[in-house]
């Protein structure tokens, strides 16, 4: 068993969002997601079968839901119910935005 750091080992070049599964068991999955100015395609909405709890570890982001927009800063977290349509409309372009997401 070796410790790992969510803020380390991020590639210098990040042409697309980095998604890494850190742990998984049954229907639960924990991911590290790294964005660097990445956002959802204009008409692309997540409509997931699982609930998602997400913590913004570093950076800033905007999540759009059908009826409102959330601006998230480091330390903010939100629980997104299954089938709650959402999309990422902005992430910090000049800093890595690091998310910790738990799908359950």
CATH code of the region 18-103? 2.60.120.10
Which residues share a beta bridge with 83? none
pLDDT single digits (tens) 47-80 = 999 999 999 999 999 999 999 999 999 999 999 9
Domain extent listing, the chain: 18-103
- Quick check: pTM over 0.75? yes
Which residues share a beta bridge with 32? 20, 100
């Amino acid at each position: 068993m070796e410790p790992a750091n969510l803020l380390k080992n991020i590639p210098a070049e990040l042409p697309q969002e980095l998604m890494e599964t850190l742990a998984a068991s049954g229907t639960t999955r924990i991911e590290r997601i790294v964005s660097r100015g990445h956002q959802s395609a204009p008409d692309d909405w997540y409509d997931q079968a699982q609930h998602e709890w997400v913590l913004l570890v570093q950076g800033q982001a905007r999540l759009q839901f059908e009826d409102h927009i959330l601006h998230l800063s480091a330390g903010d977290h939100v629980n997104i119910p299954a089938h709650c349509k959402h999309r990422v409309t902005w992430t910090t372009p000049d800093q890595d935005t690091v998310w910790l997401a738990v799908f359950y």
